[in-house]
DNA sequence: CTGCGATTACCGAATGGTCGGTAGGTCAAG
DNA sequence: CTTGACCTACCGACCATTCGGTAATCGCAG
């Protein structure tokens, strides 16, 4: 028997990555610990040895996914400020990572269910993200946006567009040009010249 | 025993309404036929008497929800054309019907999962809705939108904003003014005067 | 109006499966 | 000898679906 194929920490990460995949494919409710275990060559109880419950496993998966996204968002703008173009680049990056997008879409929508273990995570996440995004918009476009929008209004719209496009893109990748449409929305926000 | 409390058709509708609620509360995967049955005072097998399987029950629930939405959308503009204001009114109406919104949000996101029974429904629905919405936009705003957007680009953005706002609103109803933000997006589309 | 066979509307029980989680053990490395 | 990494075995609960009933009701013949 070949036990101890790595450190405890590396084994945990292995499991977390597999769990992210399975959650993306089946949602949280539809995913079973056993199916995650199978993917890393463990028994169900092997997984439960590293994570005490399915809830906790989900919590750590979400934390991991957030870290990754932060990497993509922060690294390119190293030292410099994050701009709307950086955000557009993130959307472009996401268009290459279907699994990550799907996990986020499925889990966030599932989380609106009462007593869902990810509910607090997403609620807090959207709250802080909106505040942060409002500042990014203010820094780049100032206080006055087209149609008298405030940055505080534009921020939730921004995430709405990102999330909504992801859903349509997941259902019909060939019909929806997610990065292109997101850029189109951005140019709307920036206030390009009106026709007529 | 008091059977036959109504016609077959009314009994079916009773079940469909209960199912819509339960799907909203727990998602499709998380909902059990028994919990739906309990809500209408039937046994699990009683429900199965009217709908041959859980899949079929879901299919009919979705059809029902579509009909209701169509009522809201079409009745106000009876005879006349549907305008963007009618769409805004629908968003306003939705802000009063949390259950309906939640069921749609949860089920549509769940449907991106492979082999999900609602996948085809939502894929087709978005396809036809986008085409239809593009025509509404073209009829009202013409071919030239701000930032050189085409109606075909604006249509998916429209649904993205609707869906994305719903998600944020469901998680934080007090923070998110869904109808207001949607109207803000609409005025962006209409090309209100730029500042400066 | 009566009687009766067919249909409808269910329910109880069981099938075969999966679920998350616990208890208690084995085995190897340190 | 202890510790950590697993495993087998198991639990009670729940799952969708099928089968086989039973009681109420309906259509219709007489």
| Cβ–Cβ gap A148/B192 under 8 Å | yes
The shortest C-alpha distance from A4 to chain B (Å) reads 34
Residues 121-160 of B with CB under 8 A from A: 122-123, 126-127, 130, 144-149, 153, 156-157, 159-160
- List, as own/partner pairs, every contact residues A59-62 make where C-beta atoms lie below 8 angstroms and the sequence separation is at least 24, other chains included: A59/A117, A59/A118, A59/A121, A60/A12, A60/A16, A61/A16, A61/A19, A61/A20, A61/A23, A61/A103, A62/A107, A62/A118, A62/A121
Distance between CA atoms of residues B168 and A54, nearest Å: 25
| A123:B160 CB<8 A | no
In this complex, is the C-beta atom of A119 within 8 Å of any C-beta atom belonging to chain B? yes
What is the average pLDDT across B168-183? 98
Token reading at A145: 């946006």
Kindly tell me if the per-residue pLDDT of B5 is higher than 90: no
Taking CB atoms and an 8 Å limit, are B112 and A106 in contact across chains? yes
Lowest mean pLDDT: which of B3-7, B106-110, B186-190? B3-7
pLDDT tens figures, B30-63: 999 999 999 999 999 999 999 999 999 999 999 9
Residue of A nearest to B118 (CA): A171
- Could you check: is the Cβ of residue B193 within 7 Å of any atom of nucleic acid strand D? no
Contact A110 B27 (CB under 8 A): yes
B2 pLDDT above the threshold of 60: no
CA distance A107 to A8: 27
Subunit contact A25:B113, Cβ cutoff 8 A: yes
Q: For A105-128, how does the pLDDT look when each residue is reduced to its tens digit (9 = 90+)?
A: 999 999 999 999 999 999 999 999
Q: How far apart are CA B192 and CA B180, in angstroms?
A: 16
Task: Count A/B contacts: CB-CB distance under 8 Å.
Answer: 181
Rounded-to-integer distance, Cα B189 and Cα A191, Å: 10
Instruction: Report the sign of the C-alpha dihedral through residues A162, A163, A164, A168, in that order.
Output: positive
- Taking only residues 27 to 86 of chain A, the set having a beta carbon closer than 8 angstroms to any beta carbon of chain B reads 27, 29-30
Of B27, B160, B190, nearest to A165 by CB-CB distance is B160
Instruction: Verify whether the Cβ–Cβ distance A114 to B162 is below 8 Å.
Output: no
pTM of the model as a whole: 0.92
pLDDT of res. A74? 73
Q: Which residue has the tokens 């409390």?
A: B5
Question: Confidence band (pLDDT; 50, 70, 90) for B68?
Answer: confident
User: In angstroms, what CA-CA distances link B156 with A38, A169, B118, B122, B162?
Assistant: 39, 10, 20, 14, 10
Residue B96 structure tokens: 């009063």
Chain A CB contacts of B195 below 8 Å: 144-146, 148, 191
Scan for tokens 């084994």, then name that residue: A11
pLDDT tens-place string over residues B106-162: 999 999 999 999 999 999 999 999 999 999 999 999 998 999 999 999 999 999 999
CB of residue B31 closer than 7 A to nucleic acid strand D? yes
Which residue's structure tokens are 């993205």?
A: B160
Low-confidence ranges of chain A (pLDDT < 50): 1-3, 194-196
CA Rg value for chain B: 19
- Per the rule left: phi > 0, alpha: psi between -120 and 50, beta: everything else, A4 is left
Q: Is the CB of B118 under 7 A from strand D?
A: no
Handedness of CA B7, B103, B116, A167 (dihedral sign): positive
What tokens were used for B174?
A: 């007090």
Cα–Cα distance, A12 to B41 (Å, whole number): 46
């Amino acid at each position: 028997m070949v036990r101890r194929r790595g450190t405890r920490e590396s084994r945990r990460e292995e499991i977390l990555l597999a769990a992210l995949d399975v959650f993306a494919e089946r949602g949280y409710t539809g995913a079973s610990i056993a199916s995650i275990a199978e993917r890393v060559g463990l028994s169900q109880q092997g997984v439960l040895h590293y994570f005490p419950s399915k809830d906790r496993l989900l919590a750590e998966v979400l934390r991991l996914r957030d870290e990754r996204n932060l990497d993509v968002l922060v690294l390119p703008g190293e030292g410099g400020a994050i701009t709307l173009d950086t955000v557009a680049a993130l959307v472009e990056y996401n268009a290459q990572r279907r699994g990550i997008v799907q996990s986020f879409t499925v889990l966030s929508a599932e989380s609106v269910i009462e007593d869902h273990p990810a509910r607090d995570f997403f609620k807090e996440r959207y709250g802080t993200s909106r505040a942060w995004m409002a500042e990014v918009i203010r820094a780049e476009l100032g206080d006055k946006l087209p149609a008298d929008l405030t940055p505080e209004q534009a921020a939730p719209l921004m995430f709405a567009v990102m999330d909504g496009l992801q859903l349509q893109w997941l259902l019909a990748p060939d019909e929806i040009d997610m990065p292109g449409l997101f850029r189109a929305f951005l140019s709307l926000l920036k206030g390009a010249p009106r026709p007529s």
